Structure 1
């Protein structure tokens, strides 16, 4: 499923997207269980900051910055040099660190039932939540007749 993640392949972006939107309590619980068997980890970055939000003007086909958003970022490594990264919106350094721990575990061991099951469950949950939100948005749509 996420077989190309350790090499930084195309599935890593999808995997990080799921982790960034995962339910915080589940993500933190998973990270706690994974940490027990991971050995020593060095924290390279653990901070909050502002990042620019890029948007595209579809009429003129140019990029612009919509504004800034507060993010929490964590960057960790193990003794073998594998890297884990996490960035989430808002001020939640613990959640960003949990994301980095899961990313490091996948970078180190690749697919394993614990992380693969978690990612599958969270992906299904997020798809259902997105569909629910789109139904709510669609319910507010007003059809207007133009002359």
Structure 2
């Protein structure tokens, strides 16, 4: 049994939209192409048939993965977190390092993480270190490049 998958409403909607697009639009088009190609005779040298079947396998694999993630999803609205004084799922946290360089990160579901945009996955080392932190707490994060200490400067829960 797969563990629960915390995710924001926007992240869930994105997974659902991708599933619907693949299942309702892209897959039927590929099935139609493969069916047409199969009717043309020799399949061993039929590019439309060979690549169509390959694309169907990719789509079906992705649909299976999306289906499992959607089924395990636990949609959490950040603004509805009961304790807004500590860092939990969905928190937008302002951090400062030893040199007073500030960084703002938002803890989101692993599937919706985008480190370049400050959206870090719930299972990432930084998110695990920040869990249950309050303003003023110091947290050490063990990263591949070495340990780094961050101070929690601010915690917000946005929609």
TM-score (norm 2): 0.25
Structure number with larger C-alpha Rg: 2
